[in-house]
Structure 1
């Protein structure tokens, strides 16, 4: 291969990958809420899950993005593994659209006529757009660069004669499995099955690859694309690893079947190409073959979905036994901003449930044995650090909802950390052993008001903001009354000074816990992607003194 052709080939690959990345990233941000909605509606039936996978992958042009988003929904409990498997099967089928774009558009038109207007319009939106405009602009620029890269690849392959690659009879006699391995390696190197398929289809269209060899490389690209999910699942949550395993199983079964039937499937693809009225050229036949191999995989694996799910659910559960391991945070989900906010909200709700339990334990009092509370505080701290680290990896993509939600999530972490610390302090303070008769009802009422406010601030329970505000106000009234009664008892000498200081410290700590719980509940209620981008005004005007310890 001439050096000039090799450099041109590498440049074409680079342009193609850049275009795919820009297009996929832009569409994911622009269609963030639509992607979330389509996946949520996939819960209706397995067939709807399959159709959703096909449709969403066709929209965002990245099966990996759809698989990662599906993992996020399984983590969040919005999809069962059975439904997620259907979406994953559909995503694998939807990714064949790239082959059809290359086959039907890449060889009939002057690609620069498509590319240049897309780049020009896209840059205009990217620079001057508002709202989702910049994301759409980025996608259009990627679309244009995608076709420029394809045009460069066509030119590079046209400069290379088939004999330069298959100059020896031995090379022509290579078995199909060897070309499958080439397809796998090509996909691993480029980390994009779409790029590997574009190279393969373009090489076949220019006569550089025999049809059988190109078909085997298509099969290899389908196997190689599982590497992204496998790498992403390393150290990930159990649902993430199960979903990634389903993705791998599907592609391995589909690849094994396609390889076993390769000559017959290629012949059938040529027949189908003619039957549907398309020109029988290499790229079109390969696009039909690619879709057929995915459909074959669905036909083979679909009847055994229940068995596959049952097998996967028995595996990958070891890490979840550690309470300090996040249940919903996964780096794969961070690639889709709105889904990342969903995952954050659910992990914060889990942290909130832990701190709620700590507060109730502290209210009951441990009196000298605070080891259990300290262990739980360590869990809260570690989960909080993981949540903050996760938030730092999320790229908002200019989405105002996400830009507002990420700092709010960090605030909530700080509130819950403060709650956990105060719960330990509360547990170490014993309530008054024998309060004066006039104080007992007041202190009991304060504890009851605290428990009611904590219940209304529980992130796992749906309460409206007005109801929460009333609970916080009721506690504040009970606190002020208890404080006045304690000070009155101290001034009269019915309560010793040491007991008075301890009792005041205890109710002050309890007040701080309730304040932090209320603030956290208000912010968590506004972390859902469908919410308004600004936090509620009530969050900035909490009762009581300003909180100096948290953002």
Structure 2
């Protein structure tokens, strides 16, 4: 091996690195540009599989990776956000969306103006200029997309240049003749390369770079491409390890879908190549690889779409239910909902965290409601339930805080960073509401032990302020869930009512004490109760304020 050979190997590896890094930067910029649209996509995923296919294709086209999309789907299924039936459509769509990268790579064959070396440096220059001097977030996103796009093409140019001196080498002809004459070898080669680099888009890009130099034959390209579609399933299969059985089934469906498609195409293509040997051994272009890749994935989806239900049923037979499966604890369920696989996409990760924050809010609200039952009816059962829920609320606060910190380390837009910060603050306020509910439970327990009963007037006042505090928390949770301005206004109204009622009730209670209408020991519990309710309303007000800041 000469020094020049080493130089060309370095050039190829460097080109591959630039290609992968450029694709990553471009996908990151596209994700940011999509912004809230990515978040809204989650709400559109229903049992309508056609809609799921469209969304899967769109998401993959944006993030430039079917592997990442499928890993997210595994995470969504594991978190209980998607059912297996819903996941099938998204997985099918992801295979179609990944063909976008192949078309971007093949652009260099569409004329001199489209060649990487012609316009890629200009794209990088313009993009870098925008990134350095632009202040607005949207412009900086556009700059990132341009730089990524340019680096992707420069990487392709480096890879192509490194291969060019060897295009007449007998070794290439021998390799692709072997792979083309034996479908199994071709498919295994495609699988192996894709499994190693964990990206079908990148492995197809490498194949297209070889095709640009005229060293890839039609039959070898077809079999390798089919293998690449199977190889991309490895990422999702690895991601499903340690997940629920339902998430494992989603990964298995992805594998079955691509394996069945590869078999359905490999058999007729093998026959066609046998009938026309000249065509089989002729060189294939990068654009023709893009065309086959697209036709395969679209046709595979059309053929297998009617059998989506059968794929789900078959996956359930492959990944069977354990006979004595241990039921998950509440803590395990919470951790499974905050699945790290969903961190592949910041918008979806934020939406997932928001769902769990709302769930935490509903638990805190339930604890507040139970507090009135405990105080009004001297219910020990309500006291015990509040304490049990407080442990869950504390666990959720810790788990959500950790998950939100992980999200802050992702590439976020300015408004996303603001929302994550507000979600962290909300978690803290909800945890404090849970603490106050526990304080109320302790006061109720003291009331039960001391056989304390409030006067009819005191009981009526307590129920009134309780309804206000409960209304404040209920609307704060609704405001966080729906980003609803009307709910925010109601929180403000209820918080004012609580403040006024607390001040009025404190004065009236002191007057009753002065007139010896109730005991001092009773009064301490009563004043502590209304004090806790006033702080509950304050925390609800804070939560509504965070939502208002985002609107």
State TM-score, norm by structure 2: 0.83
Match 1:421 to one of 435, 460, 479: 435
SS, match of residue 340 in structure 2? coil
Matched, 1:387 2:420: no
1:464 Cα deviation from its structure 2 partner: 2.2
Q: Aligned residue for 1:491?
A: 514
User: Does the Cα contact within 8 Å between 1:157 and 1:208 map onto a contact in 2?
Assistant: no
Counterparts in 2 of 1:399 and 1:206: CA distance versus 1, 3 Å: same
1:45 Cα deviation from its structure 2 partner: 4.6
User: Does the Cα contact within 8 Å between 2:218 and 2:284 map onto a contact in 1?
Assistant: no
Match 1:305 to one of 272, 290, 308: 308
**Superposed counterparts of 1:45-84, under 5 Å:** 45-67=48-70, 81-84=84-87
Q: CA RMSD in A?
A: 3.7
Cα deviation, 1:257-310, whole Å, max 9, x if unaligned, reads 23333424669999999xxxxx98343333232223213321332011233346
Counterparts in 2 of 1:320 and 1:271: CA distance versus 1, 3 Å: farther
Q: Aligned residue for 1:404?
A: 418
Match 1:335 to one of 337, 344, 348: 344
User: Does the Cα contact within 8 Å between 1:396 and 1:403 map onto a contact in 2?
Assistant: no
User: Does the Cα contact within 8 Å between 1:186 and 1:221 map onto a contact in 2?
Assistant: yes
Matched, 1:474 2:497: yes
SS, match of residue 499 in structure 2? helix
SS, match of residue 464 in structure 1? helix
Matched, 1:11 2:14: yes
Find the aligned partners of 2:544 and 2:529 in 1 and give their Cα distance. Answer: 23
Q: Aligned residue for 1:434?
A: 453
Match 2:147 to one of 130, 141, 151: 141
1:223 Cα deviation from its structure 2 partner: 1.4
Counterparts in 2 of 1:5 and 1:330: CA distance versus 1, 3 Å: same
| Higher helix proportion | 2
User: Does the Cα contact within 8 Å between 2:46 and 2:86 map onto a contact in 1?
Assistant: yes
Q: Aligned residue for 1:128?
A: 133
Q: Aligned residue for 1:529?
A: none
User: Does the Cα contact within 8 Å between 1:355 and 1:416 map onto a contact in 2?
Assistant: yes
Q: Aligned residue for 1:543?
A: none
User: Does the Cα contact within 8 Å between 1:238 and 1:319 map onto a contact in 2?
Assistant: no
**Superposed counterparts of 1:506-525, under 5 Å:** 506-523=529-546, 525=547
1:142 Cα deviation from its structure 2 partner: 1.1
Cα deviation, 1:381-405, whole Å, max 9, x if unaligned, reads 2222222222222256452210210
1:197 Cα deviation from its structure 2 partner: 0.6
Find the aligned partners of 2:275 and 2:524 in 1 and give their Cα distance. Answer: 87
User: Does the Cα contact within 8 Å between 2:26 and 2:145 map onto a contact in 1?
Assistant: yes
Find the aligned partners of 1:210 and 1:482 in 2 and give their Cα distance. Answer: 87
Q: Aligned residue for 1:546?
A: none
SS, match of residue 114 in structure 1? helix
Cα deviation, 1:159-208, whole Å, max 9, x if unaligned, reads 22442356699966873323322222222222221110111122244344
* Further displaced range: 304-313 or 395-404: 304-313
Q: Aligned residue for 1:115?
A: 120
Find the aligned partners of 1:404 and 1:5 in 2 and give their Cα distance. Answer: 47
Q: Aligned residue for 2:89?
A: 86
* Further displaced range: 140-149 or 334-343: 334-343
Matched, 1:30 2:33: yes
Counterparts in 2 of 1:139 and 1:33: CA distance versus 1, 3 Å: same
Find the aligned partners of 1:126 and 1:239 in 2 and give their Cα distance. Answer: 43
User: Does the Cα contact within 8 Å between 1:483 and 1:504 map onto a contact in 2?
Assistant: yes
Matched, 1:457 2:471: no
Find the aligned partners of 2:152 and 2:274 in 1 and give their Cα distance. Answer: 30
Q: Which runs of 5+ in 1 are unaligned?
A: 274-278, 527-533, 537-551
Find the aligned partners of 1:172 and 1:458 in 2 and give their Cα distance. Answer: 60
Q: Aligned residue for 2:98?
A: 95
1:256 Cα deviation from its structure 2 partner: 2.9
Matched, 1:374 2:383: no
Find the aligned partners of 1:259 and 1:404 in 2 and give their Cα distance. Answer: 50
Match 1:360 to one of 369, 378, 401: 369
1:131 Cα deviation from its structure 2 partner: 2.0
Counterparts in 2 of 1:513 and 1:168: CA distance versus 1, 3 Å: closer
User: Does the Cα contact within 8 Å between 1:162 and 1:209 map onto a contact in 2?
Assistant: no
State TM-score, norm by structure 1: 0.83
SS, match of residue 330 in structure 2? coil
Q: Which runs of 5+ in 2 are unaligned?
A: none
Counterparts in 2 of 1:496 and 1:112: CA distance versus 1, 3 Å: same
User: Does the Cα contact within 8 Å between 1:132 and 1:399 map onto a contact in 2?
Assistant: no
Matched, 1:259 2:266: yes
Q: Aligned residue for 1:548?
A: none
1:328 Cα deviation from its structure 2 partner: 4.5
Match 2:158 to one of 152, 156, 173: 152
* Further displaced range: 29-38 or 361-370: 361-370
Find the aligned partners of 1:178 and 1:338 in 2 and give their Cα distance. Answer: 40
Matched residues, number: 523
Counterparts in 2 of 1:441 and 1:33: CA distance versus 1, 3 Å: closer
Find the aligned partners of 2:43 and 2:470 in 1 and give their Cα distance. Answer: 35
Q: Aligned residue for 1:247?
A: 254
* Further displaced range: 81-90 or 36-45: 36-45
Find the aligned partners of 2:64 and 2:355 in 1 and give their Cα distance. Answer: 28
Find the aligned partners of 1:28 and 1:168 in 2 and give their Cα distance. Answer: 39
User: Does the Cα contact within 8 Å between 1:457 and 1:518 map onto a contact in 2?
Assistant: yes
